[in-house]
Structure 1
Amino acid sequence: IHNAVIAMFQKKDLGDNELYSLNEGVRQLLKTELGSFFTEYLQNQLLTKGMVILRDKIYFYEGQKLLDALAETWDFFFCNVLSTLQAIFYPVQGKEPSVKQLALLHFRNIITLSIKLEDALSRPKVCVPPSIIQMLLILQGVHESRGVSEDYLKLESLIQKVVSPYLGTHGLYTSDGCVAQCSCVL
């Protein structure tokens, strides 16, 4: 399971019938005494290592090159990796947090918030690829069980740079940087 997941982050395809074998491996693992530690293993080993592989390919880029490389990384992750992770770990679906939530939170924390994205978005005449806007808005929709975190607020500050007007946790933001304080109770 470990080798297949890491290989997937390295843009290697699964072999014939490998998905079935991985599903069976996950089912068997869940039946053992290690099954209760599976979520921790997924988070601390597989997802972290995979995201570091993706991040390290773009970490030293800046400006427009960073935006273009991040857009390509997001497209690969969102279109290939995420659905394959959900398929591999189908036997654990239904548990909270879901594999999808965990993967998106790891992408947010390990990639989006650890690169020089704010600097790149703040540069004049920058062309923000649509995939970056999609990425930020999708990541904004993923919430942690403990509520609004500092990382979530950092993500919101990035969204404000590409979406206007934007209704965030602390109010309505416009392209001129004004914040209209408002509270909304649902």
Structure 2
Amino acid sequence: MIFKQISSNEIKFRTPETIPQFLQNKRLAYTIGQATIIFYYGAIYTHVLIGLNRYVAIAKPFSYAIYFNERKTMKWITLIWIISFIQSCIYQFDGCHYYFDRSAMLFLYSDAPCAQIISLYYEFYFNLAFVIFVVLLDIITFFKLKKMAKVIFNIVHDLLEIYCNHYDSPD
């Protein structure tokens, strides 16, 4: 318990001292913010790809190899990271920055109108649309899976009934 408290206090009070002074450089803070955005969008788009992968595997199993063979999957992943990089480039324009503020220990948007518009429309609404899309896709996939399980259960039931009737009949 004592060690837990010590480590917690170390993290709370020592971390600001250990962050290097070079993070005071604005250009570096902007670049770190841009790198964070690249990985953030990469994660969002990867979730979309996983949802699509799951949907195609369940709803269109015979088309799965067309869209998600190993080569195409690598192309999808490469495309995700290229789009994420291109999308993050807007944060390098003056006034449109997303950066790490060492004094606040937070990632922040610039106070300029460009950054405020980006944070609302580009970040919030755009990402909300992707999250809603993935949730809806997962719900549709769930119901397709449930429907498929019911069909498979009925087929297995009928086959077992035929098997039992065939071998239980006194010939």
Q: TM-score, normalised by structure 1?
A: 0.25
| Rg larger for | 2
Structure with the largest fraction of helix: 2
Q: TM-score, normalised by structure 2?
A: 0.27
Q: Relative contact order (C-alpha < 8 Å, sep 6+): which is higher? A: 2
